[in-house]
A and B are shown apart, each in its own frame.
Chain A
Amino acid sequence: MIYDREYETMPRDELEQLQIERLQTTLNRVYRNVAFYRHSFDERKINLEKIKYISDLKELPFTTKEDLIRSYPYDMFAVPLRDIVRIHSSSGTTGKSIAVGYTANDIRHWSSLVARLLTAGGIGEHDFVQISLNYNLFTGGLAYHYGAELLGASVIPASATSDIEKQIIFMKDFKTTALISTPSYALAIANALDDLKIHPDELYLKFGLFCAEPWSESMRTKIEEKLHLIATDNYGISEIMGAGVAGECQEKNGLHINEDHFIVEVIDPKTLTPLGTGEEGELVFTTLTKEGFPLIRYRTGDIASLIEGACPCGRTLVRMSRITGRSDEVMLVNGIKIYPSQIEEIFLKLTNRVPRYLIVLGKDQEKDTMEIMLEISGIEALDEMKNILHYRDRLQQALEAATGVQSKVLLVETDTIQRMETRSKIIDRRCE
C-alpha cells in the first residue's frame, strides 16, 4: 500500500521540478525572515538568484548543531511566534538545548509524512497501533500519534514506560496489531514475554516500526522471531522535523526519504565535499516545506549511504541505508547518549590530562556494554599497584555518575592502543 501515490511514485523529473520550486521559496523565506541565514549568505556574498538547480545547493553553507544551540530558543524561527503551535526540544547529555517550532501547516505535513511511513511499514486504518515512545519534548510519541490518527488507525498512546509488563497487558487486552518503539525497547518486551512465559502467538502483533536508535539486521531478525511481526526501520531527526523523514517499505531494503519535503545530500564529514550514490558519509538535509523552522543543508552527524536503483515497491523516492554511525562520535548506550568529550572531562578531572584511550561497545544478553581502555603511562600518581586499582575504581564510579551507564575500565600498557591503529576513539562491536 502507498499512502500518497501522487508524491511517493512521482516521476523523477517532476519531483526535481517540485524540489527546485520549493527550494527557491524556502531560500526566499529564510533570507527574508531568519537573520542567521541573511547574514550567513550576505557575508559570503551569495546571490540566491543563482541557485537554479539542486546541484547549486553545494554553493550554500552548512547549518550545524552549534548554530542551532547558539540560536536557542527562537532565533532560527522563520515565522512570528504567534504562528507557532508546537515546540519540541532536544537537550542531549551535553546540556545544551535546541528548540524547534512548528506551524499548523508544519504539523499537518508532518502527520501526513508519518502516515506515509506507517503505510509503508504495513499499517492501515484497521490496525491497533501501540505507540511505546515517550510523549514529551522528544518528537517520537506525538509524531506517530498524529500520523496514525490521520491514517484512521486506532491509537494506543502507551508511551515508553519502565513497566514493560503493562505494555504486554495493553497488547493482550487491546489486541495491538502494530508496535512503534525503539528497537531496544521492542527487545525488552520480547524478553519480558519469555520471562512471563507468554508465547508471541498469544498476542496479535503484525507490524513493528522501530526508530530513534541505530540497530542491525541481526537485531531485526531477533525482534521478528521473538515478536512474530514484520519489523521496519524508520529515521527522523528532531532538528529537521522528527519522525517522518524516512522509512522502510515492505522490501526491507533501505529507507525511502520523503524527498518532496527534504533534499538529502551525503558528504564526506572531513572534507565536506558531496559524495555519490552508494558512498558512505554524513547525511545533510534541506527542508523544502517547513514554515516554522526551515533549515538549509543541516549536518545531521548521522552516517549512511544512498541506495542506487528503483525499489520494487513502486516508490520513486530515493532510499538510504541504515544509520551506521555518527560523525561526531556520539554513542547511544542503552538509549543514553554519551559523547567521548564527557569521558575526557572525567579523565581531566581525575588526573589533569587526557590519556590515550579507546571505548569499546559490546553486547551482553540484550544490553549494551561499555569498556574503556586507557594507557597508564605518564600518569605519575600511578606508580604503585594500589594506586592503579584505586584510580580504576574511582574512574568507574565517576563515569557512571556522569553518564548514567556502568562501564568497565581496562588499564593497558603504553602504546597498546596506538598499535591497534584505529582512527576512531570508539569501537562498536554491538552490531557484529
Chain B
Amino acid sequence: MLRIRNVVAGYGNLTVIRRASLHVKTGEIVTIIGGNGAGKTTLLGTIAGINQSREGEIFFDNHDITKLSSDKITSRGLSLVPEGRQVFSSMTVLENLEMGAFIRYRKGEKDEIISDIEKMYRLFPILESRKHQQAGTLSGGEQQMLAIARALMGRPKLLMLDEPSLGLAPIIVQQIFSIIKELRSFGNTILLVEQNAKAALNIADRGYVMETGHILLEGTSKELLENKDVQRAYLGKEYRRINE
C-alpha cells in the first residue's frame, strides 16, 4: 500500500532523514520506533506532504505521491494524526467529527457520515457522552481519542499516528493502543510512530527502528522485541536486570 525508497528530507540546511526505505502492506499495523530526534515525525510529515522530500520516492496505492501537496495526499486516503492531538478546541466533539468528514460531505455522503459518527461512538464511548462538550475541555486521553476518531471520519486507507501515547497516563495509553489494534479488524491499515516501543511493538505486525535519520533494524514485532539492542535502548530491559 505504501512504499518508500531512499527518502532524504529535512529543514533548511538540516538533513533529518538521511536515507529511509520502508513499506506498509494493506491490513498491516507497522510501527516506527526510535528515540527523540531520530527523524520519525519528520518522516511521517514527509509522507503526508507537509514537508517535501529532497530525494527518493513515495508510492501510495501504486501512485507516485512524492511531489503531491498534503491536501491531495489526504484526499487519496492517507491521513495523519499529528503529535500533540491538534483538535479544534473551541468546537464541540461532534463538530470535530463532522470536520473530519468534510471532504466526504461535499461529495454528498451525508447518510454514511451519520452512521460513521455512530460507529465512532461505539469505538470511543466516552466521546458520545461528551459530544456537545467543547474539545478543549476534554482530558488529554479524550482529546487523543477524538483526534483519531476525527481522522477515521475521512475513511482513510492508511492512518498514520504520531506519538499517540505522548503525555498520557499508562492506563490511558493501554486503552488507546487496544483501540488502535481493534481498528485493524475494521480493515484499517496503520503506520504508527512511537517512543513507547513496548506498547507499539505489542500491537504491531512489523516495525522499523530509526536512529539519527537512518533505519537500523527491520523485522516482525516479535523479532524486534527479542533484539538485544532494542531491549537495551527502548525497552529498558538491561536496566531492570541490573536493578533486580
Residues of A within 8 A of B (CB): 14, 17-18, 20-22, 24-25, 28-29, 32, 49, 52, 79-80, 82-83, 103-105, 108, 289, 291
CA distance A105 to B219 in the complex (A): 10
Residues of A within 8 A of B6 (CB): 20, 52
* Shortest CB distance A123–B (Å): 25
- Asked, given contacts A17-B21, A79-B228, whether A289 binds B214 with beta carbons under 8 Å apart, the answer is no
- Asked, given contacts A17-B5, A21-B21, whether A289 binds B219 with beta carbons under 8 Å apart, the answer is yes
A17-B5, A25-B215, A25-B218 known; 20 other A-B pairs, CB under 8 Å?
A17-B21, A21-B218, A22-B218, A24-B19, A24-B21, A24-B215, A25-B216, A28-B215, A29-B216, A29-B217, A49-B19, A52-B5, A79-B228, A82-B228, A83-B228, A83-B229, A103-B227, A105-B223, A105-B226, A289-B219
How many residues belonging to B are interface residues under a CB distance threshold of 8 Å?
20
Residues of B within 8 A of A108 (CB): 223, 226
30 A-B contacts, Cβ less than 8 Å apart? A17-B5, A17-B23, A20-B5, A20-B6, A20-B21, A21-B21, A21-B22, A21-B23, A21-B218, A22-B218, A24-B214, A25-B215, A25-B217, A25-B218, A28-B214, A28-B215, A32-B216, A49-B18, A49-B19, A52-B5, A52-B6, A79-B229, A80-B228, A82-B228, A83-B228, A83-B229, A105-B219, A105-B226, A105-B227, A108-B226
CA distance A289 to B219 in the complex (A): 9
The 8 closest A-B pairs by CB, nearest first: A83-B228, A52-B6, A49-B19, A28-B214, A21-B21, A25-B218, A28-B216, A20-B21
Number of A-B contacts (CB under 8 A): 52
Residues of A within 8 A of B21 (CB): 17, 20-21, 24
* Shortest CB distance B57–A (Å): 10
CA distance A280 to B126 in the complex (A): 67
Decide if A52 touches B19 in the complex (CB within 8 Å): yes
CA distance A104 to B223 in the complex (A): 9
CA distance A17 to B8 in the complex (A): 17
Residues of B within 8 A of A105 (CB): 219, 223, 226-227
* Shortest CB distance A243–B (Å): 21
Residues of B within 8 A of A (CB): 3, 5-6, 8, 18-19, 21-23, 214-219, 223, 226-229
CB-based nearest A residue for B225: A105
Residues of B within 8 A of A24 (CB): 19, 21, 214-215
